[in-house]
Chain A
């Protein structure tokens, strides 16, 4: 039997949200999937920052579902903010320019795209829904 693990995290734009993400992931990924705690924490922090910065809603509600099945981690990230597809953000990452000239744009979403294997956005039911997939291969283990 392949192991199936699921959890849900709900956030409401409170100061404690980032700490809550870390606590929930530490619990969910404990032991066997420990190598995923920091990478997934990073992905969720970046998406969370986007929701708070672009959501334009006083009562932001964020719902995150995590699911591990057949060596595939699926993250479904939803918020109730104004329509916004984070995958459409232009990333402006150019390490060839000097430090003084550099202007960093879309850094968070650049990290999210590069640390997952598939990304899909849809707007439904007045929510933004982003689905991310990450293969749990031996290579992923090295990312611990």
Chain B
């Protein structure tokens, strides 16, 4: 189960995902995010503070999103992962590659 919601803060699109991002939900994630970002909505932060679980399939979908936003000349970052998700981001190297900020405010100020 995955829930995706968006809000705009200081010109940055904050996408908050809740639940599980895995082999069952990664397509839903990509479909929903695809409909949210555009050439004019291309500064995006993925807030992970209610994401309980991510697998490699989920990580791949996050990378696909990051690539899409880069192709729109945008900015992308992650913020506020819980400890389990944070560990997966560290082990996979995705955290270092994509940029993880401790809080949403820090992410908005730095992406």
Chain A residues within CB distance 8 Å of chain B: 18-19, 38-39, 41-42, 45-46, 49, 93-97, 99-100, 102, 104, 107-108, 110-111, 114-115, 142-144
Contact = CB atoms under 8 A, between A and B. Distances in A.
A95 B57 CA distance: 17
A107 B70 contact: no
B55 A143 contact: no
Contacts, number: 67
Interface footprint category on B: 20 to 34
B33 to A, nearest CB: 15
Interface of B: 22-24, 52-53, 55-57, 59-60, 63, 66-67, 70-71, 76, 83-84, 87-88, 91-98
Given A45-B22, A99-B63, A104-B63, A38 B84 contact: yes
A19 B95 CA distance: 27
Contacts of B88: 42, 111
